[in-house]
Amino acid sequence: MLSYFGNSLLILNVFITLLILYFSSSFLTSNVKFDYKIVKRLILSQLSITVVSFFTLLFAFIITDLSIISVYSYSHESKPIFYKIAGTWGNHEGSLMLWVLILVVFSFLFYLFNNQNLRFRNLTLFFQNILILGFSIFLLVNSNPFEMIQPTPVEGLGLNPILQDPALAIHPPLLYLGFVGSSIYFSAAMASLISGYRGKNFASSIKSWIIFSWAFQTLGIIVGSIWAYYELGWGGFWFWDPVENASLMPWFAMAALAHSVIILERRESLYSWVIILCLLTFILSVTGTFLVRSGILNSVHTFASDSDRGIYILSFLCIMILSSFLIFLKKFPISDKPIENSNKGIFILTNNWFMVFYLITVLIGTIYPIFTEVFFETKISVGPPYYNLLIIPVLIPFLVLMAIGPETTWNKNSFLKFKKLIAVIISAVFINLFLYLVLKSFSVLTNLIVISSLFLIIYTLIDLLDYFKKGSSYKLPRTTAHLGFGLLILFIGLNHNLSEEYDFNLKVGEIKILDNYEIDFNNLELQDEINYKSLVGKFNIKTLNTNKIRSLNPEIRIYSKPETITYEASIKTNLLHDYFLTMSNIGDGDIYNIKFQRKPLMMWIWISAFLISLGGILRLFNKT
């Protein structure tokens, strides 16, 4: 029943999208001087139909309608209601439904709020609806969330237990607000090229969308990292895994765009560069989807891969890249305004230079293994050592420039305040020396990273204090985000250098002494929960120099729907450290593999990352 209803809605939606395309395409050639009234009605019906079809799917998941394949495959009656809801987008079909929903909602909002230029507005609608059409057909033909199953099964297969998690329930919607948010400025850029609606007004119309998508992309990445940290069970939070890289690449493009759009808005120069970034960001977002969903790359996050889907997304991607590239070449603005020449402009361009470098490094690292496989027939892996080695040294000048950049003005003849500069450098160096001598000695590179991030932190804090005194809130968003970035790098650097990790095997009842810790594997308990059985290890960890004992209880869980074994880390968090313990069985014997870690400053890593995103959100409320 719900299946028929949902399918009819999806088909209806494709027709309405075609109608919107038909009406808005008239703006491609002639200069139509009036808005078609019907367009507004069509958009409204498109919005209502998509919302209703999304909620139909949600409803099917809530009542566990097993006649629908996606419900059968990813849900189960016994699941808590929260995970039934989250299960809606915890699979390929449902998450694509969410993707289309956000596309439609954003398209509607953009149409609603941009009424300055008729042609620009309708052309943006046109391109946005090409995207909607592409993804709707994909949804209908290849990834139908409402597909029926005959005969109706008795019970569902259940959601992968590692996806049954609050962080992972909100991770896809957050990330999609970022990914799909970039579709708006992709369409707007195409519309701008064709309609000639350029410069300041164009910049203003996309600026909020850029900041919005960037802030939510950041949030999505953070929540995903937090989930990986406690759920995947090895104490890391960033693995330079292809799927993670897929979310990071658009993030760099968005961050570059968030900076250069300021130049376009203030000085009306750099138009073509902004357009390139607009097009690139959404292309990278779809590329990310392709990499994740096609299964072309080996990743820990590949939960739904299928080569047919890969081919569809790849073809769609090629059409997108080719057509946007052709339109760009054809409409390339020959008489762009002279290059930005203020100091601030130069610094913003420098930001873009670095952002593009990070982007290219991650891109090459991610796709290079595909090349070697095709051309040399050798499989290689590109992991953390590659990215760390290439990116970390470049971070040093980047952090310093990030501190002094905002200090410059649009005036060509502004100078830096050298006294402040020297004072900040010296304090950064001294704090670093203190950390170095008190905590632990670390490498030259780490010293430089710590110094430069401290430089950024102190510099930004001075700025922040200044604005609080003056009561002007204009620079609050920027300083918050920059401060967050400086803190993030500092804490990651310290965490990386001061983490203690031990990997060993132990039997129940045994005690192991490692440097400063005494690890007592006290007991093993079997517990029966509603939807899984659990083997709980009772550990007491004594820190020898303080005699403090912490009890940690890692678990091995055996889920029944679907049958899966997961390893739950036990984490004790305080302001300074996380104590992290996992255990796993070795074969069927009574020896367990134990991984114990003491990771400093974990909580502060999350807080600083949230500050970055908060900066973006503050900017949305703080328009000037």
Partner 1 sequence: MKNLFFTNIILLIFFSSLDANEVKINENEIFKNLRCLVCQGQSVAESNSDFAQTLKLVVRDKINEGNSQKEIYEFLAEKYGAWILYDPIFDGKNSILWLSPYIFLILGGLLLFFFILRRN
Residue ranges binding partner 1 (CB under 8 A): 232-234, 236, 239, 241-242, 298-302, 338-341, 346, 349-350, 353, 356-357, 360-361, 364-365, 368, 372, 376, 378-386, 390, 394, 422, 425-426, 429-430, 432-433, 436, 441-444, 447, 501, 503, 567, 584, 586-587, 593
Query: What is the DSSP secondary structure assignment for residue 32, as one 8-state letter?
Result: -
Minimum separation from the CB atom of position 587 to partner 1 (A): 7
Angstrom distances, CA of residue 492 to CA of 216, 477, 604: 21, 22, 9
Residue placing its CB nearer to partner 1 in the complex, 124 or 245 = 245
Residue placing its CB nearer to partner 1 in the complex, 151 or 385 = 385
Minimum separation from the CB atom of position 442 to partner 1 (A): 7
Residue placing its CB nearer to partner 1 in the complex, 78 or 593 = 593
Residues paired with 426 in a beta bridge? none
Residue placing its CB nearer to partner 1 in the complex, 209 or 442 = 442
Count of alpha carbons within 13 angstroms of residue 26, beta-carbon side: 12
Minimum separation from the CB atom of position 163 to partner 1 (A): 14
Report the number of secondary-structure helices (H) and strands (E) in the chain: 17, 10
Measured distance CA(595)–CA(582) in Å, rounded: 5
Residue 560 DSSP SS3: coil
For residues 167, 173, 178, 182, the Cα torsion angle rounded to the nearest 10 degrees is: 160
Are 135 and 103 in contact by the 8 Å Cβ rule? The answer is: yes
Residues paired with 543 in a beta bridge? 517, 548
Residues paired with 518 in a beta bridge? 513, 542
| Residues ≥6 apart with Cβ < 8 Å to 205 | 114, 116, 120, 188
Q: Taking Cα atoms as reference points, which of 485, 619, 483 lies closest to residue 207?
A: 619
Residue placing its CB nearer to partner 1 in the complex, 448 or 457 = 448
Read off the tokens for 336.
């762009």
Residue placing its CB nearer to partner 1 in the complex, 166 or 393 = 393
- The alpha carbon dihedral of 604, 606, 607, 609 has a sign of positive
Residue placing its CB nearer to partner 1 in the complex, 367 or 461 = 367
Minimum separation from the CB atom of position 466 to partner 1 (A): 23
Measured distance CA(558)–CA(565) in Å, rounded: 5
At 556, give phi and psi (nearest 5°). -115, 120
Minimum separation from the CB atom of position 524 to partner 1 (A): 16
Q: Taking Cα atoms as reference points, which of 207, 198, 195 lies closest to residue 272?
A: 198
| Environment class of 431 (CB within 10 Å of its CB; exposed 0-12, middle 13-18, buried 19+) | middle
Minimum separation from the CB atom of position 383 to partner 1 (A): 3
Measured distance CA(27)–CA(126) in Å, rounded: 9
Residue placing its CB nearer to partner 1 in the complex, 103 or 399 = 399
Residue placing its CB nearer to partner 1 in the complex, 153 or 295 = 295
Read off the tokens for 433.
């020396």
Residue placing its CB nearer to partner 1 in the complex, 88 or 299 = 299
Minimum separation from the CB atom of position 307 to partner 1 (A): 16
Q: Please spell the DSSP secondary structure of 305-345, one letter per residue.
A: --HHHHHHHHHHHHHHHHHHHHHHHHT--TTPPPPP-SHHH
Minimum separation from the CB atom of position 400 to partner 1 (A): 15
Residue placing its CB nearer to partner 1 in the complex, 353 or 474 = 353
Residue placing its CB nearer to partner 1 in the complex, 172 or 345 = 345
Minimum separation from the CB atom of position 123 to partner 1 (A): 31
Minimum separation from the CB atom of position 393 to partner 1 (A): 10
Omega before 406 within 30 of 0, i.e. cis = no
Angstrom distances, CA of residue 446 to CA of 170, 421, 454, 495: 34, 21, 12, 11
Minimum separation from the CB atom of position 248 to partner 1 (A): 14
